[in-house]
Structure formats: structure tokens, C-alpha cells
């Protein structure tokens, strides 16, 4: 019977674990200063290694912006991303083809996780882009994406997730 | 000898920390004009679809916070009066000129354009 509280605690913490996507501790400082100055520092586990290589292969044409780096920094960041790249269900469907970069917001996992988000939220000025994680995930900068931390702009006073 | 090295190191770091907007502008070109800089800042280059002008991300007023036109991420104000960190690191300034000029202007900016730009976002703010 002593094991019951343990089982309950373990079961309850499972969804929370899936909601934790911290940036791995061995991130080079350039990851935050270069990638993070223009966009949210995406957890490397959200794209496959080959997709990260595609992204890093042509930074002059980076999703509609010039993000060119010196080669040493570029290599450093690519190594980090590939080292912690994801695999399986979470990264499939990112949509890379010849000349088209993958997007972690196109994966089946991402779309399923966000299928309840109203269209008005995506269009809200405070969001602007599906890549703007922190617009709704208020603790995203700390690597936490739990339901209870979600506040959606454009829903009249911060619409909260209904399952919360 | 060790003291000499320590002194040289301190002096070097002191120099690096002493970058100011006007020194960085002077380093690019003498005789910067904030008027020309303002015209440049507001010009529609139309090279990049999402970023046709500086104002696409930095707003019409460089003293106000901006927003990345593609990603939606917030951008701190360009003007040192609103954000004293700006134009205090010459290498960082050059990195961003290099990236953003290519994207927005479609080429590297000239030293004169860079000096004018700094004069504009710095002056009277």
C-alpha cells in the first residue's frame, strides 16, 4: 500500500514532464545572443537533426530574414542543435523539401497540441507568428509550457485553456 | 611583468567598454548628418517583402520598442535615451548593420549611411 502514493505522484508528474522543454545546459552563449535576439530560442528537441542541418546551411535566407553568422559561430550552434535534436513523432511532418526549410510549427505534434487555439489568437498583433511561443506560454522563456501557464491574447482578457 | 600584462588587459577592456554612439559613428565616417539618417531610416527600400524599411521592425520612432516583422518577438528601442545599451559595442553594431542592410537595403550600407543612421537614432532623444 505504501507504493500507492508513489504511483499517484509518478502518474501525475508525467504530463508535466512532457511540458518541460528547457534549453540544454551546454548551449553555447551564441545560441541565445544570435538565435534569441530575433526569435524565441526553440528547444532543439522540436526538430530532427537533418532538419536543423538544413536550417543552418543557409542563414542568409532564413525564413525571410538574413541571419548570417561567421562560420565558427554557425558551426557551434549547429553542433548544439544536432546534439539535442529530437526524433520520432514529435518532429515528423516539419515539411522540408528542396528549397523549403522545415518548420517545427508544421509538425503533426505541434498542430495537434495547438488545434484548440482559436484563429483570432494566431492573428492577434501580440502573437504575430506561430513561432512566438512566449506570446501565450508565459513561462516559455524558462522552458515551461504547462497548460496552466497559458494566457492567450486576442480572446478578450486572457483566455485560459479550458482543460486547466 | 605580470602587472604590465594586467594593466594592458585592463586598458584594453576599458577601451572596449568606452564605445559610445558618437565614437562608433565617427569611426564609420566624419560629418554624420541626422537629417540624412532620418531620411534613410524612413525610406521604403522594398527589397524585402516583410521588411521593406527600417520602420517595419523598429517603428516610425526609434525611441519606441519595436517588433520583429516575421517572428513577432519584441525589439528594444534603438535610441540610447530609451535603451542605454545601444551603440556601446562596435562589433555588435557592425554585425547588425551587416545583416539588416543586406536584408532591407539589399546591399551593405556605406560607412556614411551607418554614421548618419547612428546620428539620427541618437540625436535629441
Question: What residues of B are in contact with residue A66 (Cβ under 8 Å)?
Answer: 99-100, 102-103
> Given this model, what pLDDT does residue B11 score?
47
Q: What is the mean pLDDT of residues B50-56?
A: 96
SS3 A152: strand
Query: CA-CA distance, B56 to B42, in Å (whole number)?
Result: 10
In a mutagenesis test of the A interface, which of B45, B72, B78, B107 is the best target, namely the one with the most A β-carbons within 10 Å? Answer: B72
In this predicted model, what pLDDT tens digit does every residue of A3-25 receive, in sequence order?
Answer: 666 665 555 544 445 689 999 99
In which residue ranges of chain A is pLDDT below 70? 1-18, 156-164
Q: Any idea what the Cα angle at residue A138 is, between residues A134 and A142, rounded to 5°?
A: 80
pLDDT of residue A99: 87
Which residues of chain A have a CB within 8 Å of the CB of B45? none
pLDDT of the residue at A150: 95
Report the 3 state secondary structure along chain B.
Answer: CHHHHHHHHHHHHHHHHCCCHHHHHHHHCCCCCHHHHHHHHHCCCCCCCCCCCCHHHHCCCCCCCEECCCCCCEECCCCCCCCCCCCCCHHHHHHHHHHHHHHHHCCCCCHHHHHHHHHHHHCCC
Given B72, B99, B103, which is nearest A132 (Cβ)? B72
* pLDDT tens track for B55-98: 999 999 999 999 999 999 999 999 999 999 999 999 999 999 99
Q: Does B51 contact A65 at a Cβ distance shorter than 8 Å?
A: yes
pLDDT (0 to 100) of residue A128: 87
**Residue of chain B minimizing CA distance to A122:** B72
| CB-based contact B72 A68, cutoff 8 Å | no
Which pLDDT value is given to residue A16?
43
Task: Quote the pLDDT of residue A155.
Answer: 75
Check: CB of residue B79 under 8 Å from CB of residue B121. yes
Chain A residues closer than 8 Å to B72 by CB: 126-129, 131-132, 135
Partner A contacted by B84 (CB < 8 A): no
What's the mean per-residue pLDDT of chain B? 89
pLDDT, tens only, B95-119: 999 999 999 999 999 999 999 999 9
Query: Rounded to an integer, what distance in angstroms lies between the CA atom of residue B92 and that of residue B94?
Result: 5
- Say yes or no for a CB contact (<8 Å) between B71 and A67: no
Which DSSP category does A161 fall into? P
3-state secondary structure (DSSP) of residue A58: coil
- Partners of B103 on chain A (C-beta within 8 Å) are 65-66
pTM for the full model? 0.79
Q: How far apart are CA B123 and CA B125, in angstroms?
A: 6
State the Cα–Cα distance between residues B117 and B97, nearest whole angstrom.
Answer: 10
Amino acid at each position: 500500500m505504501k507504493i500507492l502514493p508513489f504511483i499517484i505522484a509518478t502518474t501525475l508528474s508525467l504530463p508535466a514532464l512532457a511540458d518541460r522543454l528547457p534549453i540544454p545546459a551546454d548551449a553555447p552563449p551564441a545560441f541565445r545572443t544570435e538565435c534569441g535576439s530575433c526569435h524565441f530560442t526553440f528547444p532543439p528537441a522540436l526538430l530532427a537533426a537533418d532538419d536543423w542541418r538544413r536550417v543552418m546551411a543557409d542563414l542568409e535566407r532564413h525564413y525571410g530574414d538574413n541571419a548570417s553568422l561567421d562560420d565558427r559561430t554557425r558551426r557551434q550552434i549547429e553542433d548544439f542543435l544536432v546534439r539535442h535534436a529530437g526524433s520520432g513523432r514529435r518532429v515528423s511532418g516539419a515539411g522540408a523539401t528542396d528549397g523549403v526549410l522545415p518548420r517545427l510549427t508544421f509538425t503533426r505534434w505541434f498542430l495537434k497540441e495547438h488545434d484548440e487555439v482559436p484563429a483570432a489568437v494566431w492573428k492577434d498583433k501580440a502573437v504575430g507568428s506561430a513561432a512566438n511561443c512566449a506570446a501565450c506560454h508565459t513561462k516559455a522563456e524558462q522552458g515551461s509550457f504547462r497548460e496552466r501557464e497559458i494566457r492567450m491574447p486576442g480572446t478578450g482578457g486572457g483566455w485560459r485553456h479550458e482543460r486547466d | 611583468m605580470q602587472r604590465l600584462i594586467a594593466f594592458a588587459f585592463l586598458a584594453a577592456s576599458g577601451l572596449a567598454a568606452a564605445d559610445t554612439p558618437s565614437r562608433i559613428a565617427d569611426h564609420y565616417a566624419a560629418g554624420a548628418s541626422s537629417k540624412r539618417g532620418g531620411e534613410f531610416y524612413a525610406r521604403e527600400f522594398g527589397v524585402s517583402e516583410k521588411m521593406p524599411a527600417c520602420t517595419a521592425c523598429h517603428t516610425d520612432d526609434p525611441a519606441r520598442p519595436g517588433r520583429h516583422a516575421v517572428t513577432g518577438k519584441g525589439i528594444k528601442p534603438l535610441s540610447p535615451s530609451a535603451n542605454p545599451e545601444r551603440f556601446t559595442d562596435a562589433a555588435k553594431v557592425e554585425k547588425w548593420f551587416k545583416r539588416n542592410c543586406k536584408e532591407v537595403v539589399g546591399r551593405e550600407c556605406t560607412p556614411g549611411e551607418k554614421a548618419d543612421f547612428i546620428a539620427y537614432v541618437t540625436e535629441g532623444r
